[in-house]
């Protein structure tokens, strides 16, 4: 009974803006996961002439090659969101491990890792990514690895800062005096207290990565055909605007909506984390 009451209170504490963001994220995830069943056509099937107006058979019309826009958007959600998640998760694994190591071990470990990160961050992200992708190619593994390494530098700085603030706390020192090992201190004391800010940063990093991939695809260096991708869909159908068609607006709206939805949830998480710290102080 108490669990049900606590669950209702937790759900009631979520503001309307966060619920809107959660719904937007859920719709996009469902569309991405069930794209093969929801899409009326495959992502490469030509169903009519180019840039047809919306109809019963093609609710969003067709693209520059006569493919169904609705099907392409659903498959594009699967591709774009999956790659953005893979990049964000990879960057957080790299950034958290190195950031915690720098904070816990300190001394030369902190100096070496911090100087490497400072060097990478001194290079503009877009220029560095364009250079690497131009040399190494634009395959999905290269794309994931390149952006993950670049993004891990931002995660490293946050993880290091958060871990340094936690390591100096009295309860961590008490755990060490009790004879607890480094693994116990890391998993029981540091990581649980670092999750709230890292979780909010995860949403922000996902938005950045998502928009970055869309931008690279728009420039022709992101996800390559035949895979559907929202950024490349905007580029391929940009000329439709000259003929009064709305083809490029659908993927552009999908990019904007998902970004807004994630930001609404991130804003709520940041506000909740700030209130929690205020109560503790």
In our burial notation (b when 16+ CB lie closer than 10 A, e otherwise), range 214-229 reads bebbbeebbbeeebbb
Instruction: Answer whether residue 261 shows pLDDT above 90.
Output: yes
274 in any annotated domain? yes
The strand ranges marked E within 192-264 are none
Give mean pLDDT, residues 55-77. Answer: 90
Residue 13 within a domain: no
Q: Is 280's pLDDT higher than 80?
A: no
Q: Looking at per-residue confidence, does 1 or 97 come out higher?
A: 97
Q: How many domains does the chain have?
A: 1
> Does any domain span residue 22?
no
| CATH classification at residue 49 | 1.10.3720.10
pTM of the model: 0.87
- Does residue 7 register a pLDDT over 80? no
How many residues can be counted in the chain? 281
Is the separation of the CB atoms in 126 and 118 below 8 Å? no
Per-residue pLDDT, 275: 59
pLDDT at 67 over 80: yes
Please report whether residue 11 resides in a domain: no
Structural domain includes residue 216: yes
pLDDT band at 113 (very low <50, low <70, confident <90, very high): very high
92-109: pLDDT as tens digits: 999 999 998 888 887 888
Any domain includes 23:
no
Q: Is residue 94 included in any domain, yes or no?
A: yes
- Whether residue 129 is contained in a domain is answered as yes
DSSP letters, 150-165, are: HHHHHHHHHHHHHHHH
Name the burial class of residue 76, with classes exposed (0-12), middle (13-18) and buried (19+) by CB atoms within 10 angstroms of its CB: buried
Range of the domain at 152: 29-280
Report the pLDDT value the prediction gives residue 276, as an integer from 0 to 100: 55
């Amino acid at each position: 009974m108490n669990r049900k009451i606590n669950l209702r209170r937790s759900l009631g504490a979520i503001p309307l803006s966060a619920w809107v963001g959660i719904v937007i994220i859920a719709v996009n995830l469902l569309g991405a996961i069930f794209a093969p069943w929801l899409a009326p056509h495959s992502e490469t099937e030509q169903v009519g002439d180019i840039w047809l107006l919306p109809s019963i058979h093609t609710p969003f019309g067709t693209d520059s090659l006569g493919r169904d826009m609705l099907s392409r958007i659903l498959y594009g959600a699967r591709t774009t969101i999956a790659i953005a998640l893979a990049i964000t998760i990879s960057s957080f694994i790299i950034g958290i491990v190195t950031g915690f190591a720098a904070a816990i071990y300190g001394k030369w470990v902190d100096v070496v890792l911090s100087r490497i990160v400072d060097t990478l961050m001194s290079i503009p992200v877009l220029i560095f990514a364009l250079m690497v992708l131009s040399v190494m190619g634009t395959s999905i593994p290269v794309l994931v690895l390149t952006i993950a390494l670049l993004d891990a530098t931002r995660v490293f700085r946050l993880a290091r800062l958060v871990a340094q603030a936690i390591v100096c706390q009295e309860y961590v020192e008490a755990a060490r005096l009790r004879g607890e090992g480094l693994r116990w201190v890391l998993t029981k004391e540091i990581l649980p207290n670092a999750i709230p800010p890292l979780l909010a940063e995860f949403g922000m990093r996902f938005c950045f990565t998502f928009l970055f991939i869309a931008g690279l695809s728009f420039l022709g260096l992101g996800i390559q055909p035949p895979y559907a991708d929202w950024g490349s869909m905007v580029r391929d159908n940009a000329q439709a605007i000259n003929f009064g068609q709305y083809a490029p607006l659908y993927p552009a709206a999908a990019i904007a909506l998902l970004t807004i939805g994630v930001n609404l949830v991130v804003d709520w998480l940041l506000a909740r984390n700030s209130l929690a710290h205020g109560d503790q102080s």
